[in-house]
Amino acid sequence: MSNIPFQSINWDKIEKIESPGETGTVISQTIQIAGLRIRKVTYSENYQADHWCQKGHIFHCLKGHLISEMESGEETYISEGMSYVVSDNESSHRSISVNGAELLIIDGDFLQ
């Protein structure tokens, strides 16, 4: 990962891309910088991801509540102001939101 110059991010100017989940939808706004991805995501009510993910992330909940379901059946809950972190290949997880949630998600080469 290379040095990142100082910069501000105006999320109002970042393209919003809507994608379906197994149920519900997610709206993603993404900034990609060499070896680093920063996303602001908004999960709809009754959202469930359509795949299991093995990538590492830093999740920070800005609004609402999120359930991170592990393929093993274990669930972790985070709500507004809470975060979770995991490295690549440390779990197989997916996101679920019953009432909707907004998150800041950071991932990249540093989590390998």
In a domain, 5, yes or no: no
Structural domain span for residue 52: 14-111
Beta partners for 105?
39, 59
Give the domain CATH number at 93.
2.60.120.10
Residue 112 pLDDT: 60
Distance CA 103, CA 57 (A): 12
* Mean of pLDDT over the chain: 92
Predicted pLDDT of residue 56: 84
Q: How many domains does the chain have?
A: 1
pLDDT, average across residues 65-78: 92
**Residue 54 within a domain:** yes
Residue 77 resides in a domain: yes
What are 24-34's pLDDT values in tens digits? 999 999 999 88
Residue 90 predicted with pLDDT over 80: no
**Which is more confident, 51 or 2?**
51
> Per-residue pLDDT for 100 more than 90?
yes
pTM for the model: 0.88
Residue 53: inside a domain: yes
Percent residues over pLDDT 90 in the chain: 68
Structure tokens at 101: 């949630």
CB 57 within 8 A of CB 92: no
Start-to-end CA distance of the chain, whole Å, equals 12
Helices (H), 18-69: none
Is the model's pLDDT at 111 over the cut of 70? no
Helix (H, G, I), strand (E, B) or coil at 91: coil
* Residue 14 token pair: 């970042």
Q: What is the residue whose two structure tokens read 């609004």?
A: 63
CB 101 within 8 A of CB 42: yes
